[in-house]
Amino acid sequence: MSTLEIKDLHVSIDTEQGTKEILKGVTLTINTGETHAIMGPNGSGKSTLASTVAGHPRYNVTSGEILLDGENVLDMSVDERARAGLFLAMQYPVEVPGVTMTNFLRTAKTAIDGEAPSLRHWTKDVKAAMANLKIDADFANRNVNEGFSGGEKKRVEILQMELFKPRFAILDETDSGLDVDALKVVSEGVNRASEANEMGTLLITHYTRILRYIKPDFVHVFVDGRVAEQGGPELADQLEEEGYDRFLVKA
């Protein structure tokens, strides 16, 4: 079992008006095999948390820690984080002109594992994963994300996750802009990866909709840069009925 620990994390960004603290002491522990949902209103800092774990240079950690099995993630480069088993959707290129999906996937897989995958198994794995995610076989020869629709980009994100087999995946608003069919396909991919690879998942979302398909073990309500409340799946049901008002008053 592996553990991803976020300890009293404080994060600021530099703006024209000066330094702004966005994360105000976030503490969260995720074990492999667990699914955690972070839910919160817009602007509460959810994407900042994801970007900070991803190593986005814009976000300054002023105090606190992120540890993967005790190793300091904040000391790692973005590539080192991927090799350590963290999957962060936004670290991958939005569009890569002139690079086909096939080449990109194999190059990235080789970089993450430190060795090239056996060609025979790899080709089979890619085909099977694409079929599962209902991604047309033509996509293999298309350039990465070039002209992909929003829904296609999300499927390809999940395709990467299934093929790279990370220990932990952080999925930021993977549900946004998906119709119900795409949402089901994407959710099934996440569920497959959780089961097959014992992946730990941090599912960040504003809406409860995706939680009908991906059942969280833990729910964290995120308000104003911190976790305002933690609970089990019942907390998501409560949010669906009551919204975030109760937490906003408390914060």
Q: Minimum CB separation from ligand ADP for residue 65, in Å? A: 19
Contact between 42 and ligand ADP per CB under 6 A: yes
Is the backbone of residue 134 left (phi > 0), alpha (psi -120 to 50) or beta? left
What is the residue type of 66?
Answer: I
25 is in the binding site of which of ligand ADP, Mg ion, none (Cβ under 5 to 8 A by kind)?
Answer: Mg ion
Q: Minimum CB separation from ligand ADP for residue 177, in Å? A: 15
Of the residues 3, 13, 117, 233, which one makes contact with ligand ADP according to CB under 6 A: 13
Q: List the interface residues with ligand ADP, window 56-115 (CB under 6 A).
A: 58
Of the residues 37, 40, 130, 170, which one makes contact with ligand ADP according to CB under 6 A: 40
Number of residues that bind Mg ion (CB under 5 A): 4
The interface region with ligand ADP, picked from 3-11, 46-54, 131-139, 144-152 by CB under 6 A, is 46-54
Contact between 160 and Mg ion per CB under 5 A: no
Contact between 46 and ligand ADP per CB under 6 A: yes
Q: Which among 225, 167, 223, 217 is positioned nearest to 196, based on CA atoms?
A: 167
d(CA 9, CA 58): 15
Of the residues 30, 45, 219, 247, which one makes contact with ligand ADP according to CB under 6 A: 45
Angle between helices 150-164 and 180-197 (to 10 degrees): 10
Contact between 39 and ligand ADP per CB under 6 A: no
Of the residues 25, 41, 117, 233, which one makes contact with Mg ion according to CB under 5 A: 25
d(CA 232, CA 235): 6
Contact between 47 and Mg ion per CB under 5 A: yes
Contact between 174 and ligand ADP per CB under 6 A: no
Concatenating the DSSP letter of every residue in 80-139 gives HHHHTTEEEGGGS-S-EEEEEHHHHHHHHHHHHHSSPPPHHHHHHHHHHHHHHTT--GGG
Q: Which among 136, 133, 195, 179 is positioned nearest to 160, based on CA atoms?
A: 133
Interstrand relation of 60-68 and 71-72 (parallel, antiparallel or unpaired): antiparallel
Contact between 33 and Mg ion per CB under 5 A: no
Number of residues that bind ligand ADP (CB under 6 A): 12
Contact between 166 and ligand ADP per CB under 6 A: no
Q: Which among 28, 27, 33 is positioned nearest to 168, based on CA atoms?
A: 33
Which residue is associated with the tokens 């833990």? 218
Contact between 232 and ligand ADP per CB under 6 A: no
- What are the residues facing 100 on neighbouring strands? 143
Q: Minimum CB separation from ligand ADP for residue 26, in Å? A: 11
d(CA 124, CA 238): 43
Contact residues for Mg ion, defined by CB under 5 A: 8, 25, 46-47
Contact residues for ligand ADP, defined by CB under 6 A: 13, 15, 22, 40, 42-48, 58
